[in-house]
Amino acid sequence: MEKSQEEKILDAAYNVIAREGYAQTSLRQIAEEAQVALSQISYHYQNKEGLLLAVVRRVANRYSEFVQGLSPEMSPWEKGAYFIQLYQHVLTKEPELFRVLYDLVGLALWSEPLREQVAEIFQVIIDQFATEVFTGEVLQELGSAYSPEVLSGLFLGGIFGIAVQFLLEPKETAYSSLDALNLIFQLRKR
């Protein structure tokens, strides 16, 4: 099935931003990569910021696709380990997803509409960690006085920071740092 012009433009925008960064990306580059007339970008997305907001939604949707592997039968401990494995997989197989996400975060510091959408992505992830991983059972076994939201934010921050290290200089130590996060899930009281 052939993609619509809108999908081609969005694919091209995602790819060019992942390769060049948003600041270095022009609408002309996106139109050339999508093999559409430049005017079609304005028709479908109004402007570069409108297209960027669509890219944000794509990143959020991609994350949703990845977490489909979670099973209700998994324990919170298994879900925590699953998330770590998921992020390791994404870093090695689709690092452009993180590159685009980091670019979006930097841009969100200066754009209110973008800030709202990027903050929403992070809140969805934190809420999911809080609900799926840092449950009352886990908090009790860890002996933690912190809320699920605080631990979820810490967990996401760790993953996010480690991914930056990996993208800046892919080394086994940066990748292994994600494995080290599994220590949290190995601290179960016996």
Residue showing tokens 């992020």: 87
How buried is 114 (Cβ within 10 angstroms: 0-12 exposed, 13-18 middle, 19+ buried)? buried
Same domain, 23 and 116: no
Biggest CA–CA distance in the chain, Å, is 64
Residue 83 makes CB contacts below 8 A (sequence gap 6+) with 129, 133, 155, 159
Same domain, 27 and 87: no
**Contact in structure between 5 and 38 (CB atoms under 8 Å):** no
Q: What is the pLDDT of residues 33-91, one digit of tens each?
A: 999 999 999 999 998 889 998 998 898 888 888 888 888 899 998 898 888 888 888 88
Mean pLDDT of 123-151: 90
CATH number at residue 166: 1.10.357
Same domain, 126 and 172: yes
At residue 187 the predicted structure's pLDDT band, cuts being 50, 70 and 90, is low
Q: Tell me: pLDDT of 183 over 80.
A: no
Q: Tell me: pLDDT of 135 over 80.
A: yes
Same domain, 4 and 70: no
Is position 74 within any domain? yes
| 3-state secondary structure (DSSP) of residue 18 | helix
**C-alpha gyration radius of the chain:** 19
Q: What pTM was computed for the model?
A: 0.83
Same domain, 9 and 67: no
- The confidence score (pLDDT) of residue 190 equals 42
| 3-state secondary structure (DSSP) of residue 147 | coil
Is position 64 within any domain? yes
C-alpha torsion sign, points 89, 141, 153, 56:
positive
Same domain, 67 and 35: no
Same domain, 157 and 120: yes
Is position 51 within any domain? no
Q: What is the pLDDT of residues 138-175, one digit of tens each?
A: 888 888 789 999 999 999 999 889 889 888 887 777 77
Same domain, 130 and 171: yes
Q: Tell me: pLDDT of 185 over 80.
A: no
**Contact in structure between 177 and 164 (CB atoms under 8 Å):** no
Domain span at 144? 57-186
| Two structure tokens written together for 141 | 């076994």
Same domain, 116 and 158: yes
CATH number at residue 28: 1.10.10.60
Is position 122 within any domain? yes
